[in-house]
């Protein structure tokens, strides 16, 4: 598809459009000049012994409508984009109209959000109207990844618990919503050693949270945990500043068990969250951030309706 972004295609579209309109006029002119082909005003074609094809000229109203259609197309192409990359006299674009409509909507909603701007997370959580708006913002912008109940899925964090990576205050949540976030764990296969070493280390990681594991393999893998301690800490409790998960709880974002952990160790993890700053206003981000924080500080979950 990248070939169609070449500037030559714009010229091709413009030429085809212009030639098509001209061809319509030429066709109309040829049709208007046709003469009677027989004395009885027929084309000479006969079916079923006595059915003859007449050669009557096109009705004037039809020809007039055809000409009006072609003229309308030419005027439209002069004012609106259609001739390749030419913007048209009105400089209209779908992107420009979208931005104008968004600006109009933001202006209309500004009074609604004004009362929430100065509220902190606790105040937002206590405001029923703010939570109602936050819920709708969540459903429209976050639910497709984190789920309508905000409990996430494999690779998509659960927002309804108290397990946070990177930060757990309103400013951090707003920053992630606006700028996005990329959770990265480098592949450690070379540093860990053999495939057997990776399995032993995986069992040691499982042992940190009291999960089912092979205790002999875990003891063999314990020395290898030194390669992980720089991020996850010597006790495996994680590092919020680095976004490194706590390995001593039983929260497994990318899958549980020896196989899943071995895959993370050997292949690494790259888990991006796209930035939403272009889709939401700062006021909307503020309310949405307060709503997301409220999910982890109460039993409230997003309604499915």
Secondary structure of 78-108 as H, E, C letters = HHCCCCCCCCCCCCCCHHHHHHHHHHHHHHH
Contact 204, 218 (CB under 8 A): yes
What percent of the chain lies above the pLDDT cut of 90?
Answer: 63
**Which pLDDT score, from 0 to 100, does residue 285 have?**
96
Residue 3 has pLDDT above 70, yes or no: no
**Which pLDDT score, from 0 to 100, does residue 5 have?**
65
| Band (216; pLDDT cuts 50, 70, 90) | very high
Torsion region of 92: left, alpha or beta (phi above 0 gives left; psi -120 to 50 gives alpha): beta
Residue 15 has pLDDT above 80, yes or no: yes
Q: Which residue has the higher pLDDT, 262 or 299?
A: 262
| Band (299; pLDDT cuts 50, 70, 90) | very low
**Which pLDDT score, from 0 to 100, does residue 56 have?**
75
**Domains of the chain from N-terminus onward:** 2-79 (no CATH), 102-180+274-296 (1.10.760.10), 184-273 (1.10.760.10)
Lowest mean pLDDT across 93-102, 138-147, 200-209: 93-102
Mean pLDDT of the residues in the chain? 88
**Which pLDDT score, from 0 to 100, does residue 300 have?**
46
**Which pLDDT score, from 0 to 100, does residue 63 have?**
86
| Band (11; pLDDT cuts 50, 70, 90) | confident
pLDDT digits (tens, 9 = 90+) for 152-175: 999 999 999 988 888 889 999 999
| Band (85; pLDDT cuts 50, 70, 90) | confident
Q: Which of 157, 127, 154, 128 is nearest to 142 (CA)?
A: 157
Q: How far is CA 239 from the centre of its chain?
A: 30
pLDDT digits (tens, 9 = 90+) for 220-255: 999 999 999 999 999 999 998 888 999 999 999 999
* Among 198-207, 241-250, 276-285, the range of highest mean pLDDT: 198-207
DSSP three-state, residue 126: helix
Residue 38 has pLDDT above 70, yes or no: no
Rounded Cα distance, 236 and 229, in Å: 7
**Which pLDDT score, from 0 to 100, does residue 301 have?**
45
Query: Which residues lie closer than 8 Å to 301 by C-beta, 6 or more apart?
Result: 149, 150, 151, 160, 295
Instruction: Indicate whether this model's pTM tops 0.85.
Output: no
Query: Which residues lie closer than 8 Å to 180 by C-beta, 6 or more apart?
Result: 272, 273, 274, 275, 276
**Which pLDDT score, from 0 to 100, does residue 34 have?**
60
pLDDT digits (tens, 9 = 90+) for 92-129: 999 899 889 988 988 888 898 999 999 999 999 999 99
Residue 302 has pLDDT above 90, yes or no: no
DSSP line for 24-66: HHHHHHHHHT---SSTTSEEEEEETTTEEEE-PPPPHHHHHHH
Residue 304 has pLDDT above 50, yes or no: no
What percent of the chain lies above the pLDDT cut of 70?
Answer: 93
CA atoms within 13 A on the CB side of 31: 15
**Which pLDDT score, from 0 to 100, does residue 36 have?**
53
């Amino acid at each position: 598809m990248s070939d169609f972004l070449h500037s030559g295609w714009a010229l091709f579209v413009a030429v085809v459009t212009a030639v098509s309109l001209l061809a319509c006029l030429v066709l109309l002119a040829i049709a208007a000049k046709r003469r009677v082909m027989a004395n009885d005003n027929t084309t000479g074609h006969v079916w079923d012994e006595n059915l003859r094809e007449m050669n009557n000229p096109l009705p004037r109203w039809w020809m007039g409508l055809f000409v009006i259609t072609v003229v309308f197309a030419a005027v439209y192409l002069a004012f609106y984009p259609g001739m390749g990359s030419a913007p048209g006299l009105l400089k209209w674009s779908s992107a420009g109209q979208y931005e104008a409509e968004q600006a109009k909507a933001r202006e209309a909603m500004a009074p609604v959000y004004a009362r929430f701007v100065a509220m902190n997370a606790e105040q937002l959580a206590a405001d029923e109207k703010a939570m109602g708006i936050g819920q709708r913002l969540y459903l429209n912008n976050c639910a497709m990844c984190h789920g309508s109940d905000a409990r996430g899925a494999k690779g998509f964090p659960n927002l309804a618990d108290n397990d946070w990576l990177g930060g757990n205050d309103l400013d951090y949540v707003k920053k992630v919503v606006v700028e996005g976030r990329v959770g990265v764990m480098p592949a450690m296969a070379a540093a860990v050693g053999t495939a057997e070493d990776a399995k032993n280390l995986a069992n040691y990681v499982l042992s940190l949270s009291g999960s089912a594991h092979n205790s002999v393999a875990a003891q063999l893998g314990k020395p290898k945990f030194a390669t992980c301690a720089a991020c996850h800490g010597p006790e495996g409790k994680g590092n919020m500043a680095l976004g490194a998960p706590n390995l001593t709880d039983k929260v497994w974002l990318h899958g549980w068990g020896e196989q899943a952990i071995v895959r993370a160790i050997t292949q690494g993890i790259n888990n991006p969250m796209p930035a939403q700053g272009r889709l939401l206003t700062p006021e909307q981000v503020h309310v949405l951030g307060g709503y997301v924080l409220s999910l982890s500080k109460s039993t409230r979950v997003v309604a499915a309706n």
